[in-house]
Amino acid sequence: MENYIKLYMIGKGSGGNCVYKVKSLLNKEEYAMKRILIDINEEKERNTYFNEIEVFKRLHHCNLIKYQESFIHKNKLCIIMEYANQGDLNLLIEKYKKEKKYIPENEIWYIIIQIYRAIEYLHSKKIIHRDIKCQNIFLSGNEKINQKIIKLGDFGISKILKCTYELCKTPLGTPYYLSPEICSGKEYDYKSDVWMFGCVIYELMTLEKPFEGINLPNLIMNILKKEIKNLPCIYSKELIFLCKKLLTKDVKNRPYIWELKNYDFFKKKNDSFKTISVIRDNMNINKVQNYNNKINKLFKIKLNNFPIVESEIENEEDNERLSTVKEDDNIKSLEKNKQNFLNGK
């Protein structure tokens, strides 16, 4: 803890657990520090929290919150991780609620594709998140150049499976997002994450949760028996279909995350969503801003709907490297794909 100074609290949970914004005295970078009160002599409790660290350590993806380090300080487990400087999806939804506006479909697709990539990566590593919700999906990036990246975080109750089709039995997760199979006490697998993903998409489209209740038993009954409300007609039939498909109650008919590419419209969206990699050392702020203006003119939308992203590329030999793309090639790539992405083709 001697290497960090606490700036202020950014979140508080049960049992005295807190999240602080901290600053490193070594590299002057800002991070989030999750501080958890634990009994280091209690093996079960210790293993539960250390699970998050083990999950964190093996994850390297541009749409996941990065793990920095962890340590014990005064009987508290401190996990240092990437700080998401633009809040979470819940704050974004509240913003649109106050403005009494729906979130534009282009912005929803922008969010969906990045969450999809994060979940697909987790599942490829045989990891079920088990607590996907708007409060655990963060927005990060350099606001000076309108950079916005979606980051999935909070792996406290993630489960590492031994094989692809292993099933879980422990009913964990936020009640509003619990899948029908968990509510009914059945075994569950990766498709439970897909249900939660569907709940997030529903919230983005309607600005409210798909299922609510006056108490937990009533909520569970609604999840099991009640159908979702009609989705706003301002959205495309493809987006409405996707949301309904992910919220299919019968787990046998709900797709795995990797099966979404089987839908032509989704594959085109994913393929058209080109991530532009920029090495900041080679571009000053003025140059980046000029580049942003060119993109704005091409897309005729605000840049935060289609940002410049510093991307990480995954492969077997190097789990964390940067891809550099020339500015002229970026513009040509954007021009080639803008109609497919923005027009929903």
Residues carrying an active site annotation: 131
Burial class (CB in 10 A: 0-12, 13-18, 19+), 217: exposed
Q: How is the beta sheet containing 4-12 ordered, strand by strand?
A: 4-12, 18-24, 30-37, 76-82, 67-73
CB 157 within 8 Å of CB 172: yes
DSSP H or E run through 220: helix 216-225
Dihedral angle sign, alpha carbons of residues 37, 41, 42, 44: positive
Taking only Cα atoms into account, the Rg of the chain, rounded to an integer number of angstroms, comes to 21
CA distance 297 to 294: 5
CA distance 128 to 225: 25
CA distance 345 to 339: 7
* DSSP string covering 233-280: TTS-HHHHHHHHHHT-SSGGGSPPGGGGGGSHHHHHHHHH-PPPP--G
CB 191 within 8 Å of CB 179: yes
Q: State the amino acid at position 290 in one-letter form.
A: N
Q: How far apart are the first and last CA of the chain?
A: 51
Place of tokens 């600005």: 207
- What is the three-class DSSP state of 316? coil
CB 298 within 8 Å of CB 334: yes
Instruction: Give CA separation, 181 vs 42, 169, 172, in Å.
Output: 31, 10, 12
